[in-house]
Structure 1
């Protein structure tokens, strides 16, 4: 009697299962009102960042010393101007670009490093101890202090901020991926692939990693909030964006001297940071609930 040792699943069946999973996840996500609010805020911020040259009338770095510290809703400057006469709306819109780009680069680099280390640690037991001790060493440093140390070595720039935040993100990502790999590699289909002679690289990247995507997606979403907040914090301390770059943290640092006379210089970028961090955090919470198969969503 002929037996099938490696049954193939029809591509149509695979696509149907994938579409069903995505639709189910989407339905669960939109039931979470806070997550929907977060998603709308993120889409709005991305739209503002992309269309910044079209929706602003002023160069964010252009000074106009005849129109300094104008209050909100002034003619031609609906969010007012700063102490150099620069339009606050233009600086907020272009600042959204900087926050999203730096945050995305930092999270992407952190994911690459964390996923690589997590896969190796979870799959190869001999490497597990070594990699996890390195991760523990990185965890011994408070995140923002580790980022400051890296920037002190590399120099002050937004590129170095992204690198510093990505290094800070690696240990958390590595632990999450390692835990998922340890769980997935015990499954019977992984043992079957090994018995059929599949290479370790093929097993790790084609069969294990795709089944670890849910926690990685949640981590990446919530890490964006941390990356944006950290970028603003480092720029506030003078370690990130340098004048006249329209970065939100640098704008708060510059505006704090005018808090009593022109509070909008500090409050407006502060609100922008708050809303962005809130949006990514609540979206991450919603994705975690939607992607968790054990989570029951109230009907």
Structure 2
């Protein structure tokens, strides 16, 4: 019995890179998989054909069960049809892995409004809408008295945790996904839904050029720390029954390393008991900063 035996799993953006690795890993652990991919380029524009069918063929060739979905999950219709595809094909939905995304990198002064909107739409709205429709399905199941042990794994980034120079749109979207993860975990727990997020580092179409030196493949025979398949075991575990009780958490995953990210916590504090003057506020804040831990550097900062 695999870790995901009997579960029905949706993976968005599953035609290539991390999504493909996740879909294959879930199938290897016994899950039936809905492989979503719109088949667009790095800039989010349509490509000649969707690769989702190729991943489905890989899964079926190994004896697994899978179905392709080519809808735009950043639309209400596409997100609704994604959930419907899982339920109508396999009779249920147990796990949603939100992974789809692309880049349109620019320094802020050169970042067009369209590039901002496009990245926000796919990364942030493309997380929200599938989550909304999946959550509605699971809530209805719970209200009908059926036991729900649902899992959601969202995909953030180190850029969302720390920021990344030249990626203001991407960093903002990935930070928004962290907030969405915390809220949905708190709201949906009563219905048997667990929601977590990962911040992966791996070689994909989005990273192999932007971080070429870091993402380069090693010499033959050496451990490939940046292979996307290294991230998938954590995603499969989070998407399975085995992760019971784990929700509202964020994990970094890279190579053989898993890190629990602890997020914003109160640091040094001063309270004068009344209103500060600007000078007093500045003096107190300067002292607090001297007592605090320095922030981690933004990716790409010099």
Pick the structure with more strand per residue: 2
Q: Higher relative CO (CA 8 A, sep ≥ 6), structure 1 or 2?
A: 1
User: TM-score under structure 2 normalisation?
Assistant: 0.24
User: TM-score under structure 1 normalisation?
Assistant: 0.24
Pick the structure with more helix per residue: 1
